[in-house]
Amino acid sequence: MDKYFLGVDVGSVSTDLALLDQFGTLVDKIYLRTKGQPVQVIKEGLNRIAEKYSGLEIGGVGTTGSGRNLAGVILGADVIKNEITAHAVAAAHLIPEVRTVLEIGGQDSKIIIIRDGVAVDFAMNTVCAAGTGSFLDQQAARLEIPIEDFGEYALKAESPVRIAGRCSVFAESDMIHKQQLGHEIQEIIAGLCEAMVRNYLNNVAKGKDIEPPVVFQGGVAANVGIKKAFEKELGYEIHVPEHHNGGHWGCHVSQRRGCQEKRA
């Protein structure tokens, strides 16, 4: 019977499970909201896999994310990796020549500098919500626009308005002010995307040597408006992996390898 490998990413917002075959191909992925109950959510994810794939043999388990150690204990993980390592290996697996990884999730953001396939520098922001997905969610809800369509609005803008993006409170106030002045909603959304990117580059990425190829990962990578804003600021193409938010798919490739090495 073929063996499969399970990767579990436990974060503050979501818990993601990725099931890979022995060749590193993604077989299935499960996205669940953590809701402050990681143990229960991990159990729910495992039950879903067990129901869908009866008699499946798991050859190894790897965990990552802020709750990786807890998940590792619960699952008896073979490999426990921090998010920096996971993202770096993920990006290098997909684009071997990658030199920079931009990551924006629901509650934090990161930048990872990679040289010759090795992460040599990184920075994180876990303090301000202005540059994270949760703030985009809030603004999409306030404007009554599905978050899935948020980026498309930005692409329709011909002349984005400048939004103050250093603080989530100021950014929201500025957006409301621009609405009151009569600016089109797509111009405001595009301005917000550009403000988030400026905030990221001036804080998280400050002093970092950003070189292409650049890979954009995390849930916010699904927002085409943010991708476009990064390309406008940096001046070159930004690569968004297919499974950019699917439980750090690529990191589970590294976990699969780690499990195989440990079992060998």
198-257 per-position pLDDT tens digit: 989 988 999 999 999 999 998 889 899 999 999 999 999 999 988 776 444 444 444 444
Task: Please give the share of the chain, as a percent, with pLDDT higher than 70.
Answer: 89
- Fold for the domain defined by 3-85+246-263: Nucleotidyltransferase; domain 5 (3.30.420)
Mean pLDDT of the chain: 86
Residue 123 pLDDT class (50, 70, 90 cuts):
very high
Residue 129 pLDDT class (50, 70, 90 cuts):
low
Are the C-beta atoms of 68 and 10 separated by less than 8 Å?
A: yes
- Residue 97 scores a pLDDT above 60: yes
Are the C-beta atoms of 256 and 8 separated by less than 8 Å?
A: no
| Comparison of pLDDT for 223 and 12, the residue scoring more | 223
- DSSP state for residue 162 in the 8-state scheme: P
- Residue 149 scores a pLDDT above 90: no
Are the C-beta atoms of 125 and 204 separated by less than 8 Å?
A: yes
Distances (CA, A) of 249 to 5, 57, 185, 214, 264: 12, 19, 34, 17, 23
Which CATH architecture does the domain made up of 129-198 adopt?
A: 2-Layer Sandwich (3.30)
- What distance in Å separates the CA atoms of residue 234 and residue 167, rounded to the nearest whole number? 22
Domain span(s) for CATH 3.30.420.40 in the chain: 3-85+246-263, 129-198
Residue 185 pLDDT class (50, 70, 90 cuts):
very high
Instruction: Record the pTM.
Output: 0.83
Q: How buried is 119 (Cβ within 10 angstroms: 0-12 exposed, 13-18 middle, 19+ buried)?
A: middle
Residue 70 pLDDT class (50, 70, 90 cuts):
very high
The two beta strands, 118-125 and 109-115, are: antiparallel
C-alpha 31, offset from chain centre: 13
Beta pairing partners, 198? none
Q: Which residues contact 259 (CB under 8 A, 6 or more apart)?
A: 5, 59, 60, 61, 62, 78, 79
- What distance in Å separates the CA atoms of residue 122 and residue 114, rounded to the nearest whole number? 9
